[in-house]
Amino acid sequence: MAGKSKTVYVCSECGCESPKWMGRCSECGAWNTMVEDVRIPKSAAVPQTKPAHSFSARPLSSINADDEHRFVTGISELDRVLGGGIVKGSVVLLSGDPGIGKSTILLQVCGALQNGLDILYVSGEESPVQIKLRAKRIGLESERVSIMSETDVQTVCEYIASAKPDLVIVDSIQTMQHSDISSSPGSIVQVRESTNLLLRTGKSLDIPVILVGHVNKGGDIAGPKVLEHIVDTVLYFEGERNQSYRILRAIKNRFGSTNEIGVFEMGEAGLTEVENPSAMMLSGRMSDVSGGCITCVIEGTRPILAEVQGLVAATGFGNARRTATGFDYNRLNLLLAVLEKRLGLYYSNLDTYLNIVGGIRIDEPAADLAVALSLVSGLRDIPLPDDLVAFGEIGLSGELRSVPRAQARITEAARMGFKQCVLPFACLKQITSCPDTIKLIGVRRLSEAVSLIR
């Protein structure tokens, strides 16, 4: 018998519940995050098909993990981010700004899964004709991809249970709705319940499910934050809309590392993999301009060259402006303080703008040296040599500290044709084989590195 439904308020940040609306969540302190949610009593909710389980615990050693099964998509940039392919029975959430290419990449996954798998593509956003047109554009011709235009999550799950495809793609989770719940599609409760139902269906049949999730204005995944906790893997597709390249990043991954990134380029026929991201990051670089410095960062397991640009200009108002794009703002302030205090270079009445070209974000301290050099080059208006790469962490006393994987960074710089590399002196002992084409300049202090700008 169905009982009375009840209204509660749920915080979209932390999932905390309250019987009354509050301006500020009492759990996490976030403002204006309480959203109305209608609770259906258990008896009225969907009857769950419970897997018959035996209530027993097993010794860890007796569990066989060799049969972890992955579907290798054949798109190597995606496989790398996923940790080697899509794990059977896992739930992957793919999110990103509208128009970034989420639907495109998933349709390409359908085409790339070569070992003849049956794929169900559920779309609540586009009609089958629209999907067909996109598939034509990216050259997808497959007998084994079925398109389902449906928004009712129970219908979708029933279909999955009867057709038993090898992979299910749901585009997007915000369009799915559960008919037992009165709130509108996209609301916190609809998103959560739809995810839960798809998750249970997928896990019980060992079918991987990929969900597309929209992001809200703040860049968070729309819907409850708890969604990120439920799923196994959260991927984020990012990039500048007006530029063609896109970066795929894992924010959470139960089956692999979260450090890996995949780089793609959007073209006429869908997304193509970028096998040489360094070349992409350095394309369009101008020579002989002050404030530019190339660094080498490690993204996951790969070294990637990136250009740091610093612009230092006279301030128009009393307060100097400082901005950092792609780099931590507080780290920029710290490096400016080190330059002032240890080297006597004053930026206090100058506007300082820092930008990492190519839309990537650098969080590694190894970029410190390149940032400092670009700021000094910008201040003095003297360009750095075009063939110079710099990396190294800067300490508060103005000393240069060793960073990991110096060998890989140097090899990448040499491969891309750079001839000089400024690095912490302490890193020199890590180097086992240095290509002849690149000269290593080991420095102990920032002042030694800065003296190269003359």
Q: Which residues bind Mg ion (CB under 5 A)?
A: 103
309 binds ligand TYD (CB under 6 A): no
98 binds, options ligand TYD, Mg ion, none, Cβ within 5 to 8 A by partner type: ligand TYD
Instruction: Give the whole-angstrom CA distance, residue 225 versus residue 254.
Output: 17
> Other C-beta atoms within 10 Å of 256: how many?
19
The token pair at 23 is 């301006």
270 binds, options Mg ion, ligand TYD, none, Cβ within 5 to 8 A by partner type: ligand TYD
131 binds ligand TYD (CB under 6 A): no
Q: What are phi and psi of 415, to 5 degrees?
A: -60, -35
Is residue 130 exposed (0-12), middle (13-18) or buried (19+ Cβ within 10 Å)? middle
247 binds ligand TYD (CB under 6 A): no
266 binds ligand TYD (CB under 6 A): yes
136 binds ligand TYD (CB under 6 A): no
Nearest approach, Cβ of residue 270 and Mg ion (Å): 13
Nearest approach, Cβ of residue 239 and ligand TYD (Å): 11
Nearest approach, Cβ of residue 212 and Mg ion (Å): 6
Nearest approach, Cβ of residue 103 and Mg ion (Å): 3
269 binds ligand TYD (CB under 6 A): yes
Q: Quick check: 282 and 267 in contact, CB under 8 A?
A: no
Strands 209-214 and 91-96, sheet pairing: parallel
285 binds ligand TYD (CB under 6 A): no
Comparing CB distances to Mg ion, the nearer of 103 and 290 is 103
CA diameter of the chain: 83
138 binds ligand TYD (CB under 6 A): yes
Instruction: Give the whole-angstrom CA distance, residue 276 versus residue 259.
Output: 18
> Other C-beta atoms within 10 Å of 87: how many?
21
The token pair at 395 is 């300490």
Nearest approach, Cβ of residue 125 and Mg ion (Å): 6
Nearest approach, Cβ of residue 65 and ligand TYD (Å): 34
Comparing CB distances to Mg ion, the nearer of 103 and 374 is 103
Report the 3 state secondary structure along 139-194: CCCCCCEEEEECCEHHHHHHHHHHHCCCEEEEECHHHCECCCCCCCCCCHHHHHHH
86 three-state secondary structure? strand
Number of residues that bind ligand TYD (CB under 6 A): 15
Ramachandran class of 431: left when φ > 0, alpha when ψ lies in -120 to 50, beta otherwise: beta
- Per-residue interface string for the shown chain with ligand TYD, residues 88-127, x marking contact by CB under 6 A: --------x-xxxxxxx-----------------------
Nearest approach, Cβ of residue 126 and Mg ion (Å): 7
Comparing CB distances to ligand TYD, the nearer of 106 and 305 is 106
Comparing CB distances to Mg ion, the nearer of 103 and 309 is 103
194 binds ligand TYD (CB under 6 A): no
- Which of 257, 383, 243 minimizes the C-alpha distance to 309? 383
Nearest approach, Cβ of residue 355 and ligand TYD (Å): 25
Q: Which of 39, 134, 322, 419 binds ligand TYD (CB under 6 A)?
A: 134
Instruction: Give the whole-angstrom CA distance, residue 412 versus residue 291.
Output: 22
Strands 167-171 and 119-123, sheet pairing: parallel
Nearest approach, Cβ of residue 268 and ligand TYD (Å): 6
- Burial string for 382-398 (b: 16+ CB within 10 Å, else e) reads ebbebbbbbbbbbeeeb
Span near ligand TYD by CB under 6 A; candidates 267-275, 298-306, 325-333, 395-403: 267-275
Span near ligand TYD by CB under 6 A; candidates 59-67, 192-200, 266-274, 423-431: 266-274
Residues in contact with ligand TYD by the rule CB under 6 A = 96, 98-104, 134, 137-138, 266, 268-270
